[in-house]
Chains A and B, each alone.
Chain A
Amino acid sequence: MEPITGAEILVRCLHEEGVDCMFGYPGGAVLHIYDALYAQEKIKHVLVRHEQAAVHAAEGYARASGKTGVVLVTSGPGVTNAVTGIADAYMDSIPLVIFSGQVPTALIGNDAFQEVDAVGITRPCVKHNFLVRDIKNLAETVKKAFYIASTGRPGPVLIDLPKDITIGKAEFHYPKKIKLRSYNPTIKGHAGQIRKAVDLVMSAKKPMIYTGGGVILSDGSTELVELTQLLGYPITHTLMGLGAYPATDRQFIGMLGMHGTYEANMAMHHCDVLIAIGARFDDRVTGKIEKFCPEAKIVHIDIDPSSISKNVQVDIPIVGSVPNVLRAMISVIRDEKLKPDTKALEHWWRQIDEWRAIKSLSYRQSDEVIKPQYVIEKLYQVTEGKAIITSDVGQHQMWAAQYYHFDRPRQWINSGGLGTMGFGLPAAMGAKLAFPDQDVACVTGDGSIQMMLQELSTMKQYYTPVKIVNLNNGYLGMVRQWQEFFYQKRYSMTYMEALPIFVMLAEAYGHVGMRIEKPGDVEGALREAFAMKDRTVFLDFITDQSENVFPMIPSGGGQNEMLLAERDEMVSTHEEGMVLV
């Protein structure tokens, strides 16, 4: 076999992995790789305008499609710019492989031009990383990276490539399979534990199913729906889990947690058996740990043992992958013709429906000023609930989660763990590249959109027509809300003075801009925008500046201590809760 350059080896590896799309930005250390990319056509390379956007776009692509996202950045500032994106993918367990250029092996450690210790800087926020020191290991390292990123609990893997490695030559052999003695995720659940779990689940009088991102990541939605309907139990999702079970079905009682529905949080608080599936008991979900599900026995299914009993001690842990474990549970229930306690369940549903009747997501409509919730409701109607929705971070994110009812997995794409403002726009671009025929909308805010605005240029170049729904409240609204409640309305640095004219900005980048100020114009504008199939449209909705996200469990509160819209006196948060974010 002819020896080829390291850069060519890398490109061949990507072909072997079936990569059809990648995101990146060139620079000195990766010029050889870019030259090798120039000579091929199988991979579409998207030139972003900032490396952070490359990672978010790859995340959008991966979150929408389930495939591994691929990123290429240069050494030094290229890789430091990418770090926020990498941390974001790490927190939400998104499979990515990131290639970073590095100074030549001989110069490493010399403070060479554009040298940073990429492996050191990213170590705390990757699933794993590699520095390739010998071209002979290059292909195998790439194989390992894709394998590690996409299996078990997924996550980002970085490969640092010194420039001399990309220039040197070697024969290309791509391993068909890889086995790592030190890495063997458990997929199949322990039969004994599954047995115990089924017994507990069937004995429940006030059951609750609580699921998270793990169901989406593992494509376990089919099994989840089957089990949930077989049992007839109520189900709630975390912010990361939305879409796993159809939101329009009666058994779905809404999102739980800080901004979850009244019924979901109350049912959590009062349940006697909790079935946690691919969720990690985040502090935005549990509220005060001592007050979390005080009456419940807990089953927890997760592929990562370290997620289990990390924050909340559970009674029956099952390490394994969601689809496998749920299938095994369904088999036991079906084979043994087990039936839930219908009488108790009827009683429980009656209670839940009482909580539901409170309508915790109701808000006061206005004729004068656009309510942000109303925009999302209309967005839902106009897209017939079918669009892929990406989101930035803030109040608008919560409203999108609450008022767009996601019926299928991978339809809702947002930054949950790191909460990265700026995520939404590049993620929408990535999702659109994965599914060019689907409507993609990015719900954003006046603060967030300005963190990745430059990507409007990339979107022009690569023709990714998405609809940008800007809920423009003139504030860093989510922060303003906390200042209103917990800092006696001292609005320190949350007012966004001197906002740009977004319509003109959109036009400057070659897109369509619309400014909507009246409630009566909301629906028409959305219809008009979505009718322009081939254009990116920036919809700047001027919304109520003082609107807050409800319900809300103030940090440090229990799940049953929710604030409801305009019903509760705003109480100051618990002292100890003030340290939480």
Chain B
Amino acid sequence: MNNSDNSNRHMISILMENEAGALSRVANLFSARGYNIESLTVAPTDDPTLSRLTLVTSGNEQIIEQIVKQLNKLIDVVKLIDLSETDSIERELMLVKTKAVGEQRAEMMRLSEIFGGHILDVTESTYTIELTGPGGKLDNFLNAVEKDAILEVVRSGATGIARGQKALHV
């Protein structure tokens, strides 16, 4: 398994019964079978009996095929889609607290604007910036900011949805 090879990165979106323990079944499956999890997000949907879970994983074709089959085998999994196999939209939310003193204040604001961010909270020495986008874009922002200026980073993990008329529902 190759974690770093991005071409093998897959985003799998799952509709599950909103039961206690459903999330641990997924998490267990990945640790028990030695699959990678890069990120995992979960929340109830508009239908309160269902949760939607998005996970990002990596592996060669054979491993991904097994992951999909093993997930489908879980009794609580109702439906799933490998979003990487279709044209899809990926979004992640990131909150970043940065230093903002002197010249940094203008520089930070400019960077935030370039990346389409919003400054949510301001103190005399810090900014708290909200950014959304595909994971790569958030990485780029962090790379653009000088290391010392970053005080804290929170990322939600990726979520996604297919483009066009295709919809994952029951």
Contacts and interface: CB of A to CB of B under 8 A. Distances in A.
A284 to B, nearest CB: 19
Nearest to B73: A306
Given A123-B25, A131-B21, A306 B77 contact: no
B134 to A, nearest CB: 30
A132 to B, nearest CB: 11
Given A124-B32, A310-B66, A313-B62, A181 B170 contact: yes
B17 A182 contact: yes
Q: Which of B32, B69, B170 has the most CB of A within 10 A?
A: B69
Contact of A305 (B24, B69, B75): B69
A269 interface: no
Interface in A91-131: 119-120, 123-124, 127-128, 131
B75 A180 contact: yes
B24 A123 contact: yes
A123 B66 CA distance: 19
A57 B55 CA distance: 41
A120 B24 contact: yes
Contacts of B75: 127-128, 148, 180, 182-183
A117 to B, nearest CB: 10
Contact of B28 (A124, A181, A182, A305): A124
Interface in B10-32: 16-17, 20-21, 24-25, 28, 32
Give the interface size class of chain B.
Answer: 20 to 34
A99 B72 CA distance: 26
Contacts of B92: none
A363 B70 CA distance: 44
B77 A182 contact: yes
B105 to A, nearest CB: 48
B153 to A, nearest CB: 32
A8 interface: no
A123 B72 CA distance: 16
A342 interface: no
Contact of B69 (A133, A306, A313): A306
A181 B69 contact: no
Interface residues of A, number: 20
A182 B69 contact: no
Interface string B67-89: 00110110111100000000000
Contacts of B62: 309, 313
A304 interface: yes
B80 to A, nearest CB: 11
Nearest to A124: B32
Contacts of B38: none
B139 interface: no
A419 B76 CA distance: 29
Given A123-B28, A124-B32, A313-B62, A305 B72 contact: yes
B79 to A, nearest CB: 8
A181 B78 contact: yes
A120 B31 CA distance: 14
A128 B75 CA distance: 7
B113 interface: no
Contact of B76 (A131, A182, A306): A182
A312 to B, nearest CB: 11
A263 B17 CA distance: 49
A128 B74 CA distance: 8
B107 interface: no
Nearest to B17: A182
Contacts of B20: 131, 133
A421 to B, nearest CB: 23
A306 B35 CA distance: 15
Interface string B19-53: 01100110010001000000000000000000000
A121 to B, nearest CB: 11
A528 B170 CA distance: 64
B76 to A, nearest CB: 6
A234 B156 CA distance: 57
A313 B65 CA distance: 11
Contacts of B17: 182
Nearest to A120: B24
Contacts of A308: 69
Interface in B83-123: none
Contacts of B76: 182
A12 B75 CA distance: 25
A304 B74 CA distance: 12
A181 B76 CA distance: 9
Contacts of A148: 75
A309 B32 contact: no
A313 B77 CA distance: 25
A41 to B, nearest CB: 34
B23 to A, nearest CB: 12
Given A128-B75, A180-B75, A182-B75, A306 B21 contact: no
A309 B65 contact: yes
Contacts of A119: 21
B78 A182 contact: yes
Contact of B66 (A120, A133, A183, A306): A306
A119 B21 CA distance: 9
A310 B33 CA distance: 12
Nearest to B69: A306
A127 B20 CA distance: 16
Interface of B: 16-17, 20-21, 24-25, 28, 32, 62, 65-66, 69-70, 72-73, 75-78, 170
Given A119-B21, A310-B66, 9 more contacts: A123-B28, A128-B75, A148-B75, A182-B16, A305-B69, A306-B70, A306-B72, A308-B69, A309-B65
6 contacts: A123-B24, A123-B25, A127-B75, A306-B72, A309-B62, A313-B62
Q: What 8 pairs between A and B have smallest CB-CB spacing?
A: A306-B69, A182-B78, A128-B75, A305-B69, A183-B75, A124-B32, A306-B70, A306-B73
